Amino acid sequence: MQKGQQKKKIAPPKGALGVLLPGIGAVATTLMAGTFSVRKGLSLPVGSLTQMGTIRLGKRTERRRPRIKDFVPIAGLDDLVFGGWDIHGKDAYDMALSAGVLRQEHLHPLRNELKSIRPMKAVFDPEYVRRLHGDWIKEGKTKMHLADKLQKDIETFKEKNGCSRLIMVWCGSTEVFVQPREVHADLDRFERGLKESDPAIAPSMIYAYAAIRNGIPFVNGAPNLSENIPALLSLAHQTQCPVAGNDFKTGQTMMKTVIAPALKARLLGLDGWFSTNILGNRDGEVLDDPDSFRTKEVSKLGVLEHILQPDLYPELYGDSYHKVRINYYPPRGDNKEGWDNIDIFGWMGYPMQIKIDFLCRDSILAAPIALDLILLMDLAKRADKYGIQEWLSFYFKSPIVPEGLYPEHDLFIQLSKLKNNLRYLMGEDLITHLGVEYYPNSK
C-alpha cells in the first residue's frame, strides 16, 4: 500500500447533467433505454463499474469495500438528461426500434421517455461516412459556421433542460481513415481551417471543437481521430476540459486484452492471432466501406503489439502474425459473433491453439461503458482534471496518450489504474499489492 494524498477538492454533482450524443444509433439508444429502465427499477445496470462495482479501501483485513457510486461523488442516474444529433430526424424510440438491439416488450415501458428525445440536425459530410445518407443535416457557409450552430444547439439544450453541467460522447458512425495533417497541428491552423472549410476537418472534429471550446468534457466512442489531434488537445488545456477516447472496448478486443496479458505473463510464445467477426447492424454496414474499416482496423491491431512488446521478447513475439477482419452479415443484426484462432507455443517450442467464439451483443456491451464514461468524466471535470484522462483507458480499444508515451492495454492494469485514481482523488491509500503489511515478523 502506498500512502494516499489529501482528498482532492471536488465540486458536488448538483443539478441536471446534460448528456449530448452525436449519433443516436444503436449504442446511444441502448444507453438511454437502459438508463430509463434502471431508473424505473425494471433492470439492473449490469456491466457498469460505477453502478455495480466495489472498491477495496485500506488493508484487506479492514474489509472496507464500498460500491464505487457510494465512494466517489458521481451524478445519480436520475440527474441525467439526454439529447443529441443525427442525420435522421426520427425520435429515440423509433431509432431504437430500427437499431433492433432491444425487444419491443423492453422498449414499450420506456416509450414516453424515448419519444421525447428528438435529434437535432447533424453536421455531416458523406465523404467521411460513405454508406449513410440522411436528410436531417445542418447547412452552413463554412465549417466554423457549423461549429457555431452546434454551440447554439448546446446552449438551447442546456437552457431548456435546466442543466448545470454538460458532457458530449461521440456515438456516431466510424469515419474514414485520416492521418493527422498540418491543419490539425495547432489551434491557429485548425481555426483557420474551420473558416476555410478545410476538407481534412471531419464532422466529428467539429463536434469535438464545439464541446471543448466551451469546456464540455468530450468522449470519443469511435476510432476516429476527432479530439485526438494536437489542435484540440491544446484547446482542452486552454479551456480546462477533460477528454477521453478512443473507441469503446467491448467484445473481441476486450477478450484480447485479457488473454494476451495471460500469455505474456506465462512467457508463452505467439505464432499468430486471427480474429474475424460477423455483424449486421448499421455499424457493420458503415465498416463495410474499406476506408471506415481501416480506421477500425488500426484501432484493433494496436493492442497486441503494446501488450506483447515484441522488441523486448523477440523470440516469443517477434514473428507473430496478427489479422483482424470484420464482415458485414445482415442476418445477425447487432448480435455479433467474433472468432479468434490463437496459435501459441510452449516449452521446447511445442505448438498449441486457443479458440474463442464470442456470441456477443455489441450495444449491450457498449452502453454501460458509455454510462460509466459520462459519470466519470463529469467527476473529472468537477475535480478540475483536464486534458487526456488516461486513467479511463479501461474503456477504450485505443486509449489516447500524450506523445512519447505508449498506451497501457492490459484490462486489469487499466482497472487497477482506474481504481487507484479514484482512491487518489478521495485521499485513500493507493493499493500496490505489495502485501508486506500482513507479515509483520518477516523482513
Q: Where are the alpha helices (DSSP H) in 40-137?
A: 49-52, 68-71, 92-99, 104-107, 111-115
For ligand NAD, which residue of 13, 18, 25, 269 counts as binding (CB under 6 A)?
25
Q: Is there binding between residue 87 and ligand NAD (CB under 6 A)?
A: yes
Q: How many other CB atoms are there within 10 angstroms of residue 36's CB atom?
A: 22
Q: How many residues bind ligand NAD (CB under 6 A)?
A: 36
For ligand NAD, the nearest residue by Cβ is 25
Cα–Cα distance, 46 to 362 (Å, whole number): 14
Shortest Å, Cβ 174 to ligand NAD: 4
β-strand pairing of 269-279 with 337-345: antiparallel
Measure Cα distances from 362 to 144, 254, 366, 397 in Å: 34, 12, 6, 14
Is 203 near ligand NAD (CB under 6 A)?
yes
- Using CB under 6 A, which of 4, 193, 221, 242 touches ligand NAD? 221
8 A C-beta contact, residue 334 and residue 26: yes
Phi/psi-derived region of residue 20, left when phi > 0, alpha when psi is between -120 and 50, beta in every other case: beta
List C-alpha distances in Å: 403 to 77, 265, 389, 407, 428: 35, 27, 14, 10, 30
> How far is CA 93 from its chain centroid?
23
* E strand intervals along 249-367: 269-279, 321-328, 337-345, 351-359
Bond preceding residue 246 cis, omega within 30 of 0: yes
Q: Which is nearer to ligand NAD, 22 or 34 (CB)?
A: 22
CB 324 within 8 A of CB 340: no
- If one asks whether residue 157 binds ligand NAD (CB under 6 A), the answer comes out as no
Stretch that binds ligand NAD, among 105-113, 232-240, 262-270, 280-288 (CB under 6 A): 280-288
218 binds ligand NAD (CB under 6 A): no
CA angle 409, 258, 56 (to 5 degrees): 85
- Taking the least distance from each CB to ligand NAD, the nearer of 285 and 429 is 285
Q: Which is nearer to ligand NAD, 19 or 222 (CB)?
A: 222
Q: Annotate 235-249 with three-state secondary structure.
A: HHHHCCCEEECCCEC
Query: What would the x/- binding string for ligand NAD be over residues 246 to 265, using CB under 6 A?
Result: -xx-x---------------
In angstroms, the CA 64 to CA 67 distance is 10
Amino acid present at 277: N
The least CB distance from residue 58 to ligand NAD, in Å, is: 36
97 binds ligand NAD, rule: CB under 6 A: no
Residue with cell string 450495444 = 363
* Using rule CB under 6 A, residue 169 touches ligand NAD: no
Residue 363 interacting with ligand NAD (CB under 6 A): yes
**In the complex with ligand NAD, which residue's Cβ is closer, 186 or 291?**
291
> Which of 17, 33, 75, 99 is the binder for ligand NAD (CB under 6 A)?
99
Q: Is 372 in the site for ligand NAD (CB under 6 A)?
A: no
Q: Note whether 129 binds ligand NAD by CB under 6 A.
A: yes
Among 191, 283, 372, 378, binds ligand NAD (CB under 6 A): 283
Choose, by CB under 6 A, the member of 366, 380, 383, 411 that binds ligand NAD. 366
Site for ligand NAD contains 396 (CB under 6 A):
no
Sole binder of ligand NAD in the list 79, 113, 297, 362 (CB under 6 A): 362
Binding region for ligand NAD (CB under 6 A) out of 121-129, 150-158, 232-240, 311-319? 121-129
154 binds ligand NAD, rule: CB under 6 A: no
Applying CB under 6 A, the residues found at the interface with ligand NAD are 22-28, 85-88, 99, 122-124, 129, 132, 134, 171-174, 203, 221-222, 247-248, 250, 281-283, 286, 362-363, 365-366
